[in-house]
Structure 1
Amino acid sequence: MRTFNKKGDRGETSLLYGVRVAKSDSRCEAYGTIDEAVSALGLARHFCQPEVKDIVFGLQQDLFVVGAELATPSEHYSKLVKKQNIVTLEMVQRLENLIDNFEAKVKMPEAFVVPGGGSAGSAALDVARTIVRRAERRVIGLKEAEIITNDEVPKYLNRLSDLIFTLARYEEVGGA
């Protein structure tokens, strides 16, 4: 398969299931930001401790589910549901459990954190966190416009940024 097909040269792209939209479509902005977050987490993973690396890899995989949900037109959404390939309450709860687990291992700061004061892993996680926050804002826009309907997507991204913040603090002090 070739890397390019020239179909996007005129400013259009395909959502999942072949629906064509402008590359400036708000869905493209949202799932593109998710793609950035996946890559930023990949960079962060390179610098993290083994325990955190495994978690970050799982988060990257979860974000593929988020991206697929954002890139699916509403008329095809039932196909994702049928495949059980959507963001779920269980995914949100898993993040909450991880946050609780890591908060028990490290004293959380009581003031704003200036990123970059610890390890390369913590700094890279902080960059990934800010990208996830941007993705969350894009998704809120989609939710407000009723382009997406799954309430778990913005919840997942909100918890994800909290988890990444917590993991960054864990990395900052060299773990438990």
Structure 2
Amino acid sequence: MVKLDVITTRGGDGGQTSLGDGTRLRKDALRIQAIGEVDELNATIGLLRLQADPEADAMLARLQNDLFDLGADLCMPGTGEGLRMTEAQCLRLEREVAAMNEAIPPLRSFVLPGGTPAAAYAHLARTVARRAERSVVALAAAEPVNPEAVRWLNRASDHLFVLSRRFNGNGAGDVLWVPGGNR
């Protein structure tokens, strides 16, 4: 169980922070950057939830909880002990994407971010997910990282994209790219 009774510790005043195993790292370290971008994604999804219907809100709540699991995974160096992302979490996202996508016609062009407010927020969350994924990939190139962490972020961005289309009337309100349309 997590217990936080003191929030201002002054431990980070010198530009360092602690990982779950007690290791101290600079706040600009790759691992801390990745954890921060995962946290930013979680906050962005919190904004998206303000626009969501109950079914989408439940999916987004699961995403947010998984993002805390992902942060816990990343705050423990290596791939050994600790709370780790699992294949089951990735498979759940795949099932949700497939279920949402059944009602949506195939794309004939790229989708521009926009449409309904909910869809626009979902696109914003998708781009933050991609940035977090790039940071975790960069971290994985430098030191061991649970491969399910990268896989989960990739699935989460797919999930947010399909959810944006769902919010746009199952694709009917998508704003489509018109190649060369302004020449």
TM-score (norm: length of structure 2):
0.86
Report the equivalent of 2:91: 93
Equivalent position amino acid for 1:169 in 2: R
Deviation, 1:108, is 4.1
The one of 99, 110, 118 aligned to 2:108: 110
Counterpart pick for 2:116 among 119, 125, 148: 119
Give the C-alpha shift of residue 19 in structure 1: 1.2
Task: Please give the per-residue CA displacement for 1:17-53, whole angstroms capped at 9, x wherever unaligned.
Answer: 2211100110000010000000000100110111101
4+ residue runs over 3 A deviation = none
Give the 3-state SS of the residue equivalent to 2:25 in structure 1. Answer: strand
Higher helix share: 1
Query: Is 1:47 the equivalent of 2:54?
Result: no
Aligned pairs (5 A) from 1:141-152: 141-148=138-145, 150-152=146-148
Aligned residues: CA RMSD? 1.7
CA separation in 2, counterparts of 1:63 and 1:175?
27
Percent of residue pairs identical: 37
**Partner Cα separation in structure 1 for residue 88 and residue 71 of structure 2:** 17
- Cα distance in 2 between the residues matched to 1:65 and 1:130: 20
TM-superposed CA distance for 1:13, in Å, is 0.5
Q: 1:61 aligned to 2:77?
A: no
Structure 1 regions of 5+ residues with no counterpart?
Answer: none
**Aligned pairs for 1:22-41 within 5 A:** 22-41=26-45
Unaligned runs of 5+ in 2: 173-183
Rg comparison, structure with higher value: 2
Alignment correspondent of 1:159: 155
- Give the total of aligned pairs: 168
**In structure 2, what is the equivalent of residue 78 of structure 1?**
80
